[in-house]
């Protein structure tokens, strides 16, 4: 991701004005840049292909006290309490709370901010590339904080879902991702979901896992289906992998042509570099799994977690966000006025206030490979 400011006469003069010795002129120029860039950063962050954008945004005013009626999520054949996963600080571990089904859930929010400065000499030289890099880093820092918070929530809710650890299953064959694993995840997801009366929900066979987040190594396993048998059942043909029934020719040809498939059994395969043995999100899952005393046996050095989502339930993953008065977006960029004149520096800071809430952990499934 890279944000670039156009090299126009107006923007060059505006940048130079931020280094003016006249404080009012300098401040007005910096405020104009902040107003110009704020909506752009908000759009970039909200459209980034990240886990944080799996959450449904619920905007509200800064003086409001928003809530969500929990009885709309209540299963009438179950006990009248719901488990809600939320956080009180950005990047914190997921906290589980029990609410009566007739209650209203008050949204918990926290600030996320990022501040960056630059030497005024770059402004005097009209170095738009320096200012572009500053706002790029600001957006990246906000995204990084949002991602850590979102993943902590997903992992915490997954290991505590239902009967603790029951929504995490192991791969059919050690160290290998097979079509049988996709099949098992579909069945698991369908059994987790039910209608309000414990029967077949609206949507029938379409209800269940829609996305599977995985590492590049697991995507490699999918590509290998093009030239390796993938079924775990024995058949009339014996192979070195002790498997005998390959994928359909049509599927294998599609995998070979596209260097992998974007979906299998209508499950979208989403590749993220942070997943995989030894990677950041794998370590987070391991830490959360241990912290919650989960019965899931997971060795961070050799196992990796794949997280399945049912994104057909928009109110299961919520992101309440505050829209400040006078702002059209949740992210605002303002002038950082902490710098004295003798420092020779100027700066900006971006801030937003949001929360991450999982109201129904049944949308989550896990596969340990």
Give 294-303 pLDDT, tens digit per residue.
Answer: 888 898 889 9
CA distance 191 to 117: 53
Domains of the chain (ranges, CATH numbers): 9-159+317-358 (3.30.2400.10), 167-314+361-368 (no CATH)
pLDDT band at 241 (very low <50, low <70, confident <90, very high): very low
State residue 325's pLDDT score.
81
pLDDT beyond 90 at 258: no
In whole angstroms, give the CA distance from residue 49 to residue 90.
20
DSSP state of 73: G
State residue 76's pLDDT score. 47
Q: How many CB atoms lie within 10 A of CB 74?
A: 18
Q: Which pLDDT tens digit goes with each residue over 270-288? A: 999 999 999 999 999 999 8
The answer on pLDDT for 96 being more than 70 is no
Residue by residue, what is the 3-state secondary structure of 169-234? EECCECCECCHHHHHHHHHHHHHHCCCCCCCCCCCHHHCCCCEEEECHHHHHHHHHCCCCCCCCCC
226-248 average pLDDT score = 52
Residues sharing a CB contact under 8 Å with residue 155, sequence separation 6 or more, in sequence order: 94, 281, 284, 285, 288, 289, 305, 307
How far apart are alpha carbons 308 and 85 in whole angstroms?
17
Residue with tokens 């990084």: 144
Residue pair 131/16 in contact (Cβ under 8 Å)? The answer is no
Q: Worst-scoring range by mean pLDDT, 145-159, 244-258, 281-295?
A: 244-258
Listed range (86-90, 175-179, 329-333) with the worst mean pLDDT: 86-90
pTM over 0.85: no
* pLDDT above 90 for 253: no
Which residues, listed in sequence order, are joined to residue 354 by a DSSP beta bridge? 110, 321
d(CA 37, CA 351): 13
pLDDT per residue over 114-156, tens digit each?
999 999 999 999 999 999 999 999 999 999 899 888 888 888 8
């Amino acid at each position: 991701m890279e944000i670039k400011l156009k090299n126009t006469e107006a923007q060059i003069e505006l940048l130079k004005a931020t280094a003016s010795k006249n404080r009012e002129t300098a401040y007005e120029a910096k405020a104009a840049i902040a107003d110009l860039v704020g909506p752009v950063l908000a759009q970039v962050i909200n459209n980034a292909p990240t886990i944080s954008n799996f959450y449904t945004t619920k905007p509200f005013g800064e003086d409001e006290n928003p809530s969500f009626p929990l009885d709309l999520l209540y299963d009438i054949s179950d006990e009248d309490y719901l488990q809600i996963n939320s956080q009180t600080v950005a990047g914190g571990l997921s906290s589980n709370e029990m609410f009566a089904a007739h209650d209203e859930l008050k949204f918990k929010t926290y600030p996320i901010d990022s501040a960056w400065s630059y030497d005024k000499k770059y402004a005097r030289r009209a170095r738009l590339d320096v200012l572009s890099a500053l706002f790029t880093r600001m957006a990246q820092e906000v995204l990084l904080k949002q991602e850590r918070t979102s993943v902590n929530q997903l992992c915490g809710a997954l290991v505590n879902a239902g009967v603790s650890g029951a929504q995490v299953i192991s791969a059919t064959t050690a160290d290998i991702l097979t079509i049988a694993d996709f099949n098992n995840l579909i069945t698991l997801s369908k059994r987790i979901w039910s209608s309000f009366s414990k029967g077949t929900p609206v949507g029938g066979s379409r209800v269940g896992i829609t996305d599977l987040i995985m590492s590049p190594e697991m995507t490699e396993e999918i590509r290998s289906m093009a030239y390796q048998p993938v079924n775990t059942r024995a058949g009339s043909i014996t192979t070195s992998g002790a498997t005998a029934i390959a994928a359909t020719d049509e599927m294998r040809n599609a995998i070979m042509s596209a260097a992998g498939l974007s979906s299998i059994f209508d499950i979208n395969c989403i590749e993220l570099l942070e997943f995989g043995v030894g990677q950041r999100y794998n370590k987070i899952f391991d830490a959360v799994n241990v912290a919650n005393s989960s019965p899931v046996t997971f060795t961070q050095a050799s196992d990796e977690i794949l997280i399945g989502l049912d994104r057909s339930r928009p109110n299961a993953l919520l992101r309440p966000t505050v829209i400040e008065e006078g702002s059209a977006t949740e992210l605002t960029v303002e002038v950082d006025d902490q710098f004295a004149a003798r420092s020779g520096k100027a700066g900006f800071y971006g801030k937003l206030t949001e929360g991450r809430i999982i109201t129904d952990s049944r949308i989550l499934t896990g596969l340990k490979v």
